[in-house]
């Protein structure tokens, strides 16, 4: 037990209460310490398996798949109309394992639960001959707990003693399938995934005004082009030089305007000459 250096009272509390509440669970005695385990808090089912096996699919209250190099496990709980007898247990295997042929069935118990172990053979999708052993336990309220073990060997009846000795590790897996009582583990709160679609819908609406803005920019560009062309065309149509000279921007042209007054005075000179002729 480790606590912060300023939590002396917490350390004393743990020493007084934790040690007395620490109790071993005898049902897993004899299973290797390095084995993994799977516990479903929704129904308090637990099973152990070799460390080289991996959980490939699981969720609280849902079927769980555990795969290894020599076999695979399928763990689940389901509601049934009535507790299974031997005939119903055989039918369960035929319904849940396509093409299965039941070879034997015998009664079994796990703690306070009773049921059957049904051995069978089947052919997988690749045409390989395999074997299996389904452990079916009748629970309360017509609930069936099942651990379906499949092994990649042909014609193996795991209800036979000699086969159980030859496959001792596989039988330890099924012997660890238990229903634990008195354990209260809070269920995890699933993270909702349905909140993702609304942002996607909002972004699509935002994209519509963006297209409208593009159209406005194109219209502005066209108007600017027309206004630029109009002033350029006006000077080209006017052929009168004085129009170009009168541009107020040419402030350096005053010397050009000064010769024009003498040109205007030459007209009165012509009138004086006309008067002298009658005299």
Q: Is 122 inside a domain boundary?
A: yes
Distance in angstroms (rounded) separating the CA atoms of residues 107 and 242: 122
Q: What is the pLDDT of residue 230?
A: 45
pLDDT digit string (tens) for the chain, length 279 residues: 788 989 999 988 888 888 777 777 777 777 888 999 999 888 888 999 999 999 999 888 899 999 999 999 999 999 999 999 999 999 999 999 999 999 999 999 988 899 999 999 999 989 999 999 999 999 989 999 999 999 999 999 999 999 999 999 999 999 999 888 766 656 566 666 666 666 665 555 555 555 554 444 444 444 444 444 444 444 445 454 554 444 455 555 555 554 555 544 444 444 444 444 444
Q: What is the CATH number of the domain that holds 149?
A: 3.40.1000.10
Q: What is the pLDDT of residue 275?
A: 46
Q: Is 174 inside a domain boundary?
A: yes
Q: Is 220 inside a domain boundary?
A: no
Q: Using the CB atoms, write b or e for 54-84: b if 16+ within 10 Å.
A: eeeeeeeeeebebebeebbbbbbbeeeeebb
Q: Is 134 inside a domain boundary?
A: yes
User: Which range marks the domain in which residue 129 is found?
Assistant: 54-179
Q: Is 146 inside a domain boundary?
A: yes
Q: What is the pLDDT of residue 50?
A: 94
Q: Is 46 inside a domain boundary?
A: no
Domain count, the chain: 1
Q: How many CA atoms lie within 13 A of 128 on its CB side?
A: 9
Q: Is 13 inside a domain boundary?
A: no
Q: Is 40 inside a domain boundary?
A: no
């Amino acid at each position: 037990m480790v606590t912060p250096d300023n939590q002396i009272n917490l350390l004393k509390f743990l020493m007084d209460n934790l040690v007395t509440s620490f109790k071993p669970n005898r049902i897993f005695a004899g299973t290797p310490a390095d084995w993994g385990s799977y516990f479903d808090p929704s129904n308090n089912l637990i099973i152990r398996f070799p460390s080289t096996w991996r959980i490939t699919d699981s969720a609280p209250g849902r079927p769980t798949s555990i795969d290894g190099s020599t076999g695979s496990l399928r763990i689940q709980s389901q509601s049934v109309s009535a507790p299974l007898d031997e005939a119903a247990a055989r039918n369960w295997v035929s319904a849940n394992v396509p093409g299965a042929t039941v070879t034997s069935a015998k009664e079994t118990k796990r703690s306070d639960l009773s049921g059957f172990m049904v051995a069978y053979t089947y052919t997988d999708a690749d045409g390989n001959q395999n074997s299996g052993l389904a452990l079916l336990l009748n629970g309360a309220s017509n609930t069936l707990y099942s651990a379906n073990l499949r092994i990649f060997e042909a014609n193996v009846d795991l209800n036979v003693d000699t086969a159980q000795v030859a496959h001792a590790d596989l039988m330890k897996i099924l012997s660890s399938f238990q229903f634990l009582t008195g354990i209260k583990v809070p269920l995890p709160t699933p993270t909702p995934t349905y909140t993702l679609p609304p942002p996607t819908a909002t972004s699509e609406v935002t994209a519509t005004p963006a297209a409208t803005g593009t159209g406005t920019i194109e219209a502005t560009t066209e108007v600017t082009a027309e206004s630029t062309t109009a002033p350029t065309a006006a000077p080209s149509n006017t052929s009168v030089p004085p129009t170009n000279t009168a541009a107020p921007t040419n402030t350096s042209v005053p010397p050009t305007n000064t010769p024009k007054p003498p040109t205007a005075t030459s007209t009165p000179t012509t009138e004086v000459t006309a008067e002298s002729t009658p005299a």
